[in-house]
Amino acid sequence: MLEFDYYRPKSLPELKENLSQPGALMLAGGTDIIPKMRKHKFKPTILVDTSGIPDLEFIEDQKEEVVIGSLTTHQQIARSPLIASVNPALQKAAESIGCIQTRCRGTLGGNLANASPAADTIPPLLIYDASLLIQSLEGERTIPLESFLLGPGKTSLEKGEFIHSVSFPRLKDRWGAEFIKVGKRTGMAISVVNAAAAVLLDQKGRISDARIALGSVGSVVIRCRETEGFLSGKNPDREVYAEAGRQVREEIRPISDVRSTVDYRLHSASVVVSRALEAAVEMAERRNE
């Protein structure tokens, strides 16, 4: 294990100050950073341990939107009744991450900052047009999650910046959202492909708004806006879902790697999108009853 100076700030101002120092890396749950440090993929000279900061662990209902503190753990998100009712896709995704031991430590902010294209929390946040509040010693800024993700392991975080919280607006009226993950094993599964879909239905039961996000099919999680456009105004039925499934293939760029092949990812992306749409529509339709 590398050597580093260890800081343990007890407040947000202290955290900002610590992170502003050159070579500083923020440590949240550690489930991604510690293995990477062992392999020398991250070589911080200063490790800033956030476990002494309570301010960033929260899930807040702010009427029009929900705000999640960046140090909230996946387990807390998975168990939150608020998240289950407002963004069931996120709840399902958080529950599917790793195993109980890693969920009790891994944080939402850590998952986003790690920016793996396979990260399970990202698709459900993207379909809700989530944005991040980024802070630093210099101030703060808000950025849509979609713009925040730049590539595998790459985000728009600048030196000294950290994710304070993630927020997303509630979906209104007749809405539904679903998350589906395909892994190579049921337990402790890293996604081969994952998808989140949300739909809003108008009074005639047609799709007024559809959102689709696919992970592990490109260098970042992808919002499939062209397919979303196709879905707008359509009467929901199996044909439409299947066609959407076909169309997303044009919007993604999967690769072959140790886990899967291009062809399988293209195919399974189609399948999970079509299924996620169907499930989202069913949920939306049930809201009338």
Q: Which residues bind other proteins (CB under 8 A)?
A: 1-6, 8, 27, 29-31, 34-35, 38, 47, 49, 51-52, 75, 98-102, 104-105, 182, 184-188, 190, 192, 257-261, 263-264, 267-268, 271-272
CB of 208: closest distance to other proteins in angstroms? 28
Residue placing its CB nearer to other proteins in the complex, 4 or 128: 4
Residue placing its CB nearer to other proteins in the complex, 79 or 234: 79
CB of 75: closest distance to other proteins in angstroms? 7
CB of 26: closest distance to other proteins in angstroms? 13
Residue placing its CB nearer to other proteins in the complex, 6 or 202: 6
CB of 261: closest distance to other proteins in angstroms? 6
Residue placing its CB nearer to other proteins in the complex, 155 or 260: 260
CB of 284: closest distance to other proteins in angstroms? 21
| DSSP per-residue letters across the chain | ----EEE--SSHHHHHHHHTSTTEEEESS-TTHHHHHHTTS---SEEEE-TT-GGG--EEEETTEEEEETT-BHHHHHT-HHHHHH-HHHHHHHHHSS-HHHHTT-BHHHHHHHT-TT-SSHHHHHTTT-EEEEEETTEEEEEEHHHHEEETTEESPPTT-EEEEEEEEPP-SSEEEEEEEEESSSTTPPEEEEEEEEEEE-TTS-EEEEEEEEESSSSS-EE-HHHHHHHTTPPP-HHHHHHHHHHHHHH------SS--HHHHHHHHHHHHHHHHHHHHHHHHHTT-
**Could you tell me how many residues make up the chain?**
289
Residue placing its CB nearer to other proteins in the complex, 51 or 147: 51
- Identity of the amino acid at 148: F
Residue placing its CB nearer to other proteins in the complex, 170 or 259: 259
Residue placing its CB nearer to other proteins in the complex, 176 or 254: 254
CB of 272: closest distance to other proteins in angstroms? 8
CB of 209: closest distance to other proteins in angstroms? 26
Classify strands 154-155 and 149-151 as parallel, antiparallel or unpaired: antiparallel
